[in-house]
Structure 1
Amino acid sequence: MRRAWPLTARGTGTGVLALACFIAAAQLGSVQLLAFGVFLTALVVVSLIALHITRRDVSLTRSSSPTAVPVGDGVRVTVHVGVRTALPTTPGTWEDRVPDGLEGRTDGRFPALGSGLRGGDRAVDLVYDLHATRRGVHWLGPLDLTIRDPFGIARRVAEVGDTTRLIVTPQCIELPPLTAFAGATGGMLQATTTRLGQGTDNLIARPYQPGDSMRRIHWRATAHRDMLMVREEEQESTPEATVVLDRGKARWGADAADRPGADEDFEAAVDACVSAVNALVRDGYAVQVIDVDGTPLSEVVPGGEQSAVAVLVARFATVTAQGSTHLATLAHLWSGSTIGPLVVITGALSTDDVDALAPVPAHSVHPVLLTTDALSDAVERAAATGWYATSIAPGTSLRDAWLRVAHADVVAAEVSS
């Protein structure tokens, strides 16, 4: 129950008029004014009593469609309110509480409901639309239900129901392929043999094991060896890619560590991160998402598993800036090894940061560097050290930026020819 002035504008006017009647009756000695004042006062008192002695059991369930919505999209919320009361109810108003980060009209007129003595509960569905403007986990509710007496003199504001969670995820933007086909730049395709007993199409004869399909028997080798033989297949392993989201607080605004959606640059970086993962997974890469110090930010997302991408996007609804790891740490993560495509997403990028990252491109077949705030000529200097670098400052097209780094070799070849 929320505390509020218990009288409507009509009720307040009635009370003021009653008080004026009492004062005038005392000054003029008018019995009629005194009686009228008593009548108005009794009307207000009866309205208050009638409003509070009538028992109303209110139940509420709230649902949203969808349950998770990207920033910039809309969501429809349905609030199912059931009221059980012995007497018919009069029209009222309702308002559902909505936090910052969600916009839309969340109030309206609550209809009158008949008596529930014969038919049980009386229910009504309240529907409204919201527009998501800030990433994070938001809580809808509770609902404020305002009930009035039949005369419209008194009102009662009831706080109904619990809160309901609504997840606002980063924007996952469709990006073009990083390469013409999965693994083209990765150099990560390796021949591996299947496990015994899988019963798949094979190229090399081996002894039969329980679990192998009889249809896979290699009859020529069986006749030659005088024992059942099956074929063993060579397969290509899933190509691998790595996406690095730099969460160091020193390279973002002061609000980036406070709550999701507070810093514009960090939001652009998070959008770029999930979009890059989605593009790489769609192209067949198994993607690992890490922080600058190598800390995994999610499970490895298998190639082609778009459902796993959806889980990652939902998880990134709450990621914030934290830590103070220097970008130079990246240079030590892959020393002595070569990895597939590497996408590094960072905030403020200085020429000193570029110098610290200079050894990294030598360890990746396609190193991509995306920055939301390039200082001086940092992007050009990064490109000179081997990075496919570009800016993704807020307000720029992430798709266009991705095209510049995804097909830089093709563009360069066309220019040179």
Structure 2
Amino acid sequence: MRRAWPLTVRGTAAGVLALACFIAAAQLGSVQLLAFGVFLVALVVVSLIALHITRRDVSLSRTSSPATVAVGDDTRVTVHVGVRTALPTTPGTWEDRVPEGLDGRSDGRFPALGSGLRGGDRAVDLVYELHATQRGIHWLGPLDLTIRDPFGIARRVAEVGETTRLIVTPQCIDLPPLTAFAGATGGMLQATTTRLGQGTDNLIARPYQPGDSMRRIHWRATAHRDMLMVRQEEQESTPEATVVLDRAKSRWGEDAAARPGADASFEAAVDACVSAVNALVRDGYAVQVVDVDGSPLSEVVPGGEQSAVAVLVARFATVTAAGSLSLAALTRLWSGSTTGPLVLITGALTAADVDVLAPVPAHSAHPVLLSTEPADEVIERAAATGWYAASIAPGTSLRDAWLRVSHADVTAAEAAS
């Protein structure tokens, strides 16, 4: 509860005037001035007593729409306040406490309410809008409700209700496909292209069994037999992609490990991470998000499951920089295996780091390197070792950077011609 001077401007003026009356009465010997001063003091005291002994039962519920909001978006907050009181209330003011990371005016005038003796609670809906500026979990409230006595002399600030959680997620930017032809890197189109020239009528169908992919359903055989049938010979594989978010504190600012949303470079990296996952999942890849040593940062997101992407984006509302892993851990991770697209997102990047990462591109169908703070000529050096590299420094366009790394082959061909 916030402490406040218990008198309004009117009440303060009454107290000052009473004091002046006492002084003047003592100097002039005026009984009238003394009586008037006593009257003003009594009025102030009665107002304070009436304000504090009048029972008011206040209930509060708070909702926001949407309940989860991305950085840069707005949410509408509705505070439902129910008041039960024996006496009518006078107008007051309200202010809902809003933490750093959310912008918007969350105060206003609280209307007068009638007596609740003849009915139930008198309810008021207080509505305001907030603009999300910082990722993380924020807590709205409590509500500070300022009430006044009927004479407007005294006031009381009451802390009402509990706090309500509002999740602010990173921005998930809509990015184009990683390549102009997804089958080139093992994506969704790969299964389609491998079947070109094959007649679906020549495929042997068998009854559907639990666990079979719905993509394998043979619709003509299903209609003919009046039961679900699937293609037996079709070789179905789940294309995989990996997104690596480098969280080592040494490659980010000091604030990146303190709390979500504090470091602009790390925020750009988190936005790039969830946006890359969204793009790859949309193209049919099963995506694993890991740290540079392979430690999973989320569950595997199945290809085409946009609802699972939403879950991952919400989970990344609280991720921060942590640990002190070297980029050499990524080299060891892929030393004996290969993968489809590999997207590495890191912070400060030096020429020595690029040399350490030089063996990795050979183990990926499409290795992408995104840095928020690359040193001079590091992007070109990384490209020479096989990476499709670009800078995603704060303030730059992630979409433009993604276009450069996703169509690098096309760009190189055009440059050569």
- The count of corresponding residues between Structure 1 and Structure 2 is 398
Corresponding position of 2:141: 141
* Alignment of structure 1 residues 215-254 onto 2, 5 Å: 232-254=232-254
Secondary structure at the counterpart of residue 244 of structure 1: strand
Residue 268 of structure 2 contacts residue 392 of structure 2 at CA under 8 Å; is this kept in 1? yes
Corresponding position of 2:197: none
Matched AA of 2:332? H
Corresponding position of 1:110: 110
Cα distance in structure 2, aligned partners of 1:402 and 1:261: 22
4+ residue segments displaced more than 4 Å: 187-191, 208-213
Residue 201 of structure 1: how far off its partner (Å): 9.4
Residue 201 of structure 1 contacts residue 231 of structure 1 at CA under 8 Å; is this kept in 2? no
Could you report, residue by residue, the CA deviation over 1:178-214 in whole angstroms, capped at 9, with x for unpaired residues? Answer: 12343421389689xxxxxxxx9993477x899899x
What's the TM-score once normalised by structure 2's chain length? 0.91
Residue 119 of structure 1: how far off its partner (Å): 1.6
* Alignment of structure 1 residues 335-374 onto 2, 5 Å: 335-374=335-374
Could you report, residue by residue, the CA deviation over 1:294-340 in whole angstroms, capped at 9, with x for unpaired residues? Answer: 00000000111110000000000000000000001111112222210
Residue 187 of structure 2 contacts residue 284 of structure 2 at CA under 8 Å; is this kept in 1? no
Cα distance in structure 1, aligned partners of 2:359 and 2:147: 69
Cα distance in structure 2, aligned partners of 1:289 and 1:24: 80
Secondary structure at the counterpart of residue 365 of structure 1: strand
Matched AA of 1:135? R
Cα distance in structure 2, aligned partners of 1:201 and 1:245: 45
Residue 232 of structure 1: how far off its partner (Å): 2.1
Could you report, residue by residue, the CA deviation over 1:257-297 in whole angstroms, capped at 9, with x for unpaired residues? Answer: 00000001000000000000001111111100000110000
Secondary structure at the counterpart of residue 80 of structure 1: strand
Matched AA of 2:377? D
Cα distance in structure 2, aligned partners of 1:202 and 1:300: 35
Cα distance in structure 1, aligned partners of 2:360 and 2:230: 45
Cα distance in structure 2, aligned partners of 1:325 and 1:165: 33
Unaligned runs of 5+ in 1: 192-199, 220-228
Residue 202 of structure 1 contacts residue 233 of structure 1 at CA under 8 Å; is this kept in 2? no
Cα distance in structure 2, aligned partners of 1:78 and 1:230: 51
Matched AA of 2:86? A
Could you report, residue by residue, the CA deviation over 1:156-175 in whole angstroms, capped at 9, with x for unpaired residues? Answer: 10000000000000000010
Residue 144 of structure 2 contacts residue 159 of structure 2 at CA under 8 Å; is this kept in 1? yes
Cα distance in structure 1, aligned partners of 2:232 and 2:48: 85
Corresponding position of 2:164: 164
Corresponding position of 2:375: 375
* Alignment of structure 1 residues 21-100 onto 2, 5 Å: 21-100=21-100
Corresponding position of 2:3: 3
Distance 1:93 1:230, change over 3 A: closer
Residue 205 of structure 2 contacts residue 221 of structure 2 at CA under 8 Å; is this kept in 1? no
* Alignment of structure 1 residues 260-299 onto 2, 5 Å: 260-299=260-299
Corresponding position of 1:325: 325
Residue 414 of structure 1: how far off its partner (Å): 1.8
Residue 201 of structure 1 contacts residue 232 of structure 1 at CA under 8 Å; is this kept in 2? no
Residue 216 of structure 1 contacts residue 231 of structure 1 at CA under 8 Å; is this kept in 2? no
Cα distance in structure 2, aligned partners of 1:128 and 1:269: 31
Matched AA of 1:134? Q
Cα distance in structure 2, aligned partners of 1:408 and 1:209: 42
Residue 183 of structure 1 contacts residue 239 of structure 1 at CA under 8 Å; is this kept in 2? no
Secondary structure at the counterpart of residue 261 of structure 1: coil
* Alignment of structure 1 residues 180-191 onto 2, 5 Å: 180-186=180-186
Q: Does 1:316 align with 2:293?
A: no
Residue 75 of structure 1: how far off its partner (Å): 0.7
Corresponding position of 1:196: none
Matched AA of 2:186? G
* Alignment of structure 1 residues 116-131 onto 2, 5 Å: 116-131=116-131
Residue 413 of structure 1: how far off its partner (Å): 1.3
Cα distance in structure 1, aligned partners of 2:270 and 2:205: 49
Secondary structure at the counterpart of residue 341 of structure 1: strand
Distance 1:402 1:162, change over 3 A: same
Corresponding position of 2:195: none
Secondary structure at the counterpart of residue 99 of structure 2: coil
Residue 239 of structure 1: how far off its partner (Å): 1.1
Identity %: 84
Task: Give the stretch that moved more between structures: 2-11 or 252-261.
Answer: 2-11
Cα distance in structure 1, aligned partners of 2:41 and 2:14: 8
Residue 72 of structure 2 contacts residue 131 of structure 2 at CA under 8 Å; is this kept in 1? yes
Cα distance in structure 1, aligned partners of 2:321 and 2:289: 15
Secondary structure at the counterpart of residue 172 of structure 1: coil
Matched AA of 1:239? P
Matched AA of 1:376? D
Matched AA of 2:96? D
